[in-house]
Amino acid sequence: MLTLHTKLAASERVDGELVLNYEQREKCRQRARLACGQEVALFTARGTVLRDGDLLTGETGFVARVRAATEPVYVVRAADAQGLLRCAFHLGNRHCQVQVGAGFLRIRSDPVLRDMLAGLGASVVAEVAPFDPEPGAYAGGHAHHHALAPVPLRQKIHRPGAA
């Protein structure tokens, strides 16, 4: 099975596409399928979130481009910038992942949030689209070539007083 574990900043070629929804792009260890149907093992460092367009490779040199799959989302719009800003504030206050676009916010489908946003006067429309939320202030925006964590064969747990 093909293994992907190293993120690339750029590549002259792309051998395949790995289409994943947001939940899958948050997982650090999983089996997935390339768009062509080939099964791959995906290993990333804990806390890594794959972004739409990221490039991954492994020992074989195969390069896969990550694509955000379409999934159920809500698109939030408001009458003015202040209204949209209020919505963003309340979503952030609830630690929601939000994709910010020109004049809109996109969130995962959640009826409770939909009702809250409608109560703020926003228009909330369900659609199926790629979801690629803001990475957050502490996500680390560096884009250099680096190897992600290898799969540990055995995790040693340190216990105080143990040798």
Strand ranges in 14-109 using DSSP code E only, listed in sequence order:
16-20, 29-33, 39-43, 55-57, 63-68, 70-77, 99-101, 104-108
Confidence band for 154, pLDDT divided at 50, 70 and 90? very low
Q: Are residues 76 and 64 in the same domain?
A: no
User: What does DSSP assign to residue 25?
Assistant: H
Q: How many domains does the chain have?
A: 2
Which residue segment(s) compose the domain that 29 sits in?
A: 2-68
Q: Considering the domain boundaries, does residue 138 fall inside one? A: no
Count other C-beta atoms under 10 Å from residue 158's C-beta. Answer: 5
Q: Are residue 62 and residue 94 in the same domain, yes or no?
A: no
- Is 63 in the same domain as 107? no
HSE (side-chain half, CA atoms, 13 Å) at 22: 19
More confident residue, 47 or 61: 61
Task: Give 130-152 pLDDT, tens digit per residue.
Answer: 999 998 766 654 444 444 444 44
Residue 83 shares a structural domain with residue 60: no
Supply the CATH number for residue 83's domain: 3.30.70.790
Same domain as 95, residue 55: no
Measuring CA to CA, which residue among 89, 117, 82 is closest to residue 103? 82
Is 13 in the same domain as 56? Answer: yes
* Rounded (to 5) percent helix, strand, coil in the chain: 15, 35, 50
Is residue 97 situated within a structural domain? Answer: yes
Judge whether 161 lies within some domain: no
Encode pLDDT of 15-41 as tens digits.
999 999 999 999 999 999 999 999 999
Q: Taking residues 49-56, report their average pLDDT.
A: 95
What does the pLDDT look like over 68-108, one tens digit per residue? Answer: 999 999 999 999 999 999 999 999 999 999 999 999 999 99
Assess whether 55 and 86 both reside in one domain: no
Total-model pTM: 0.75
